[in-house]
Amino acid sequence: MRGNFDYSGKLVRFMLRRERIIAAIWIIVLVLFTVALAPGLETMFPDNETRENISLIYDNPIMVSMMGPVYDIDGEYTTGTIYAGMMLLWVMIAVAVMNIFIIIRHTRADEERWRAEVIRSLPVGRLANINAAMLTALIINVILALLTGLGLALTGIESMDFAGSMLYGAVLGASGLVFAAITAVFCQLSASSSGAFGLSFLALGGSYMLRAAGDVGNEVISLISPLGLAQRSMVYAENELMPLWGLLAIAVAFTALAYKLSSMRDLGQGFIPARIGRREAKKSLLSPFGLSLRLLKNSMIVWIICMFMLGVSYGSIIGEIDRFVGDSPAYLTLVGLTPELLDTLSESDKADMIVDGFGGFVTVMMTLIALVPLLMFAMKPKNEEADGRAEGVLSRSVSRPRYLAGYVIITFIMSIIVQLCTAAGLYGMAASNETNPFVFGKMLIAYLSYLPAMWLVVGLAVFIVGVFPKVSGVIWGYYGFICFMMLIGNIPDLLPAWVANLSPFNFIPEIRVTSFDLFPAPAASFTPLIIMTAIAALLVTTGFIGYRKRDLITH
């Protein structure tokens, strides 16, 4: 290994200089978001009774599968334990995404743009580039961990002491390093940055689903997932250090594997080789739409399979969901029943209401996940433009609107496909039980009713591509805001109504997915769906006009 890491320090300084603005934005947003919410929870839950009530709402299998377990201290819940249960998982996912982008940007993406070849032509070590990328990720994660821990400790909340706050920050940093190392491995396996992105996000999604399955079933499964292992640190409760050391060990192991693989492969190549193309292009590839479909085809297939399997995974536990929840009045209240009505319900009615609430929860969650590939597809023209490939296409007799239309049309078609596949997976697996509680027609309407909200977000992405391509990160910030609003939507009076209305998902009518009608849902108004569809069309049109008039992105 002698000489393999030469000049890593200079490359680290170079990468930190490239990352100074993007990394600073990530760190500032994550720290402010993490620290600013804590005092609000302290105000909302000032006494043991209110904390016990909110813990009952979140301590049921549905919410646990979404956010992870909420730990207590000697049978009592504190602001700290509730905060860690509500926030740690989602902030870890955001940190994982940050690290995925950092590693791919400085390794596989630089190889695609021939920057790595220029660096390798200098007297640097063979592993200097990947080593510098990992060291850069280490520095950024350490800064994030320290600022987050110190910020939470300075809130002055009694149950969020210094030790627990620093452990909270350390777990965030360690989980980020794990996904940085996993991404580094995928950068060696894949022959392209898009492939590395797909595999990395697939690993993140798989980690989330493993944790969800383990948290409501066998806890050993959760320990396989880095996210599940991190939550076993029981921040602000037991403050266990072993999960932290476990995360660091996983990060070291994957980093070593990435170094080994990098030392064995040729620059610009991957262990999963790109398929050899045809001597002459198919006729379908000679049109902008055909080119867009070819570039997105593999990702479309992967996401369609993933969404179908996610629906199947949730449908597999539908027969046991009422047993999981049991007689929890808190959960029944969460899905629409008042305490006064609980005693009037029979056991069968309670079970029906539990299943109906579960179906609504899965619908929202799956729709949020389905938005990820749609935004990736909508932003693809900007990425092709930034990488210099769009210029070659547009230099021929291809108009800009026609080129952009290929990606936009595919994105909108994909939105319908993923919703149908998710509904089919959920319903099909539930139908394998002795009794299927779901009504396919109602479930189909429920999933399709989210399309206007999805289209509005996609329309915003197209608008950004066409008018403000250099601030494309805004769309992912808005997506994070939507997820956050869906997470805290059941907590009353936490945010003003106008803030909640900034999310298009807030206007989706309630549609039951089962035959449960003891308490019929309010009459659905489809006017907001029509308005959102019109806004989406306006955004897309404006994006096309802007894309036709503006200059191409150059470096």
pLDDT in tens, 186-205: 989 888 887 888 888 888 88
Looking at residue 479, what is its pLDDT?
Answer: 85
Average pLDDT over residues 362-374: 86
Query: Are residue 255 and residue 194 in the same domain, yes or no?
Result: yes
CB 263 within 8 A of CB 127: yes
Question: Can you tell me the distance from the alpha carbon of 438 to that of 355, in angstroms, rounded to the nearest whole number?
Answer: 9
Cα distances (Å, whole numbers) of residue 372 to 245, 430, 465: 31, 25, 16
Question: Can you tell me the distance from the alpha carbon of 268 to that of 107, in angstroms, rounded to the nearest whole number?
Answer: 10
In-domain check, residue 2: no
Looking at residue 172, what is its pLDDT?
Answer: 94
Query: Are residue 440 and residue 347 in the same domain, yes or no?
Result: yes
Tell me phi and psi for residue 192, to 5 degrees: -145, 160
pLDDT for residue 302 is more than 90: no
In-domain check, residue 275: no
Query: Are residue 253 and residue 330 in the same domain, yes or no?
Result: no
CA 281, 377, 136, 555 torsion-angle sign: positive
Q: Which residues contact 514 (CB under 8 A, 6 or more apart)?
A: 352, 355, 356, 359, 437, 438, 439, 442
Q: Per this entry, what is the length of the chain?
A: 555
- Confidence band (pLDDT; 50, 70, 90) for 175? very high
Average model confidence (pLDDT) across the chain: 81
In-domain check, residue 368: yes
In-domain check, residue 295: no
Looking at residue 192, what is its pLDDT?
Answer: 80
Average pLDDT over residues 146-153: 92
Task: Print the domain residue range for 136.
Answer: 8-264
Looking at residue 418, what is its pLDDT?
Answer: 92
Average pLDDT over residues 416-443: 81
In-domain check, residue 126: yes
pLDDT for residue 292 is more than 80: yes
How many domains are there within the chain?
Answer: 2
More confident residue, 189 or 389: 189
Burial state string for 137-163 with b = 16 or more CB within 10 A and e = fewer than 16: bbebbeebbebbbebbbebebebbeee
- Confidence band (pLDDT; 50, 70, 90) for 167? very high
Looking at residue 543, what is its pLDDT?
Answer: 93
pLDDT for residue 44 is more than 70: no
Question: Can you tell me the distance from the alpha carbon of 408 to that of 377, in angstroms, rounded to the nearest whole number?
Answer: 8
Query: Are residue 257 and residue 326 in the same domain, yes or no?
Result: no
pLDDT for residue 492 is more than 60: no
Query: Are residue 397 and residue 340 in the same domain, yes or no?
Result: yes
- Residue at a domain's end among 264, 293, 316: 264
More confident residue, 543 or 53: 543
Instruction: Output helix, strand, coil percentages for the chain, rounded to the nearest 5.
Output: 75, 0, 25
CB 380 within 8 A of CB 407: yes
More confident residue, 301 or 345: 301
Looking at residue 216, what is its pLDDT?
Answer: 74
In-domain check, residue 161: yes
Q: Which amino acid is at 158?
A: E
DSSP label at residue 231: H
Which of 547, 503, 505 has the alpha carbon at shortest distance from 408? 547
Burial class (CB in 10 A: 0-12, 13-18, 19+), 135: middle
Lookup result for tokens 């993140």: 204
Question: Can you tell me the distance from the alpha carbon of 183 to that of 262, in angstroms, rounded to the nearest whole number?
Answer: 13
Look up residue 163 and give its two tokens: 């030790």
Give this prediction's pTM.
0.72
Query: Are residue 314 and residue 237 in the same domain, yes or no?
Result: no
Average pLDDT over residues 241-270: 89
Rg (CA), the chain: 24
Query: Are residue 98 and residue 156 in the same domain, yes or no?
Result: yes
Q: Which amino acid is at 60?
A: N
Query: Are residue 324 and residue 376 in the same domain, yes or no?
Result: yes
Angle subtended at Cα 11 by Cα 6 and Cα 15, rounded to the nearest 5 degrees? 160
- Confidence band (pLDDT; 50, 70, 90) for 318? low
Looking at residue 532, what is its pLDDT?
Answer: 92
Q: Which residues contact 185 (CB under 8 A, 6 or more apart)?
A: 254, 257, 258, 261
Query: Are residue 260 and residue 308 in the same domain, yes or no?
Result: no
Query: Are residue 243 and residue 331 in the same domain, yes or no?
Result: no
More confident residue, 344 or 182: 182
Looking at residue 411, what is its pLDDT?
Answer: 94
- Residue at a domain's end among 216, 242, 264: 264
Share of residues in the chain with pLDDT > 90 (%): 23
Range picked from 30-44, 50-64, 219-233 for highest mean pLDDT: 219-233
Looking at residue 351, what is its pLDDT?
Answer: 65
In-domain check, residue 282: no
pLDDT for residue 244 is more than 80: yes
Q: Which residues contact 105 (CB under 8 A, 6 or more apart)?
A: none
Lowest-pLDDT choice from 20-34, 84-98, 508-522: 508-522
- Confidence band (pLDDT; 50, 70, 90) for 535? very high
Query: Are residue 499 and residue 407 in the same domain, yes or no?
Result: yes
- Confidence band (pLDDT; 50, 70, 90) for 325? low
CB 268 within 8 A of CB 117: yes
Question: Can you tell me the distance from the alpha carbon of 99 to that of 97, in angstroms, rounded to the nearest whole number?
Answer: 5
Looking at residue 263, what is its pLDDT?
Answer: 85
Share of residues in the chain with pLDDT > 70 (%): 82
More confident residue, 74 or 189: 189
- Residue at a domain's end among 264, 282, 315: 264
In-domain check, residue 298: no
Query: Are residue 86 and residue 156 in the same domain, yes or no?
Result: yes
Burial class (CB in 10 A: 0-12, 13-18, 19+), 492: exposed
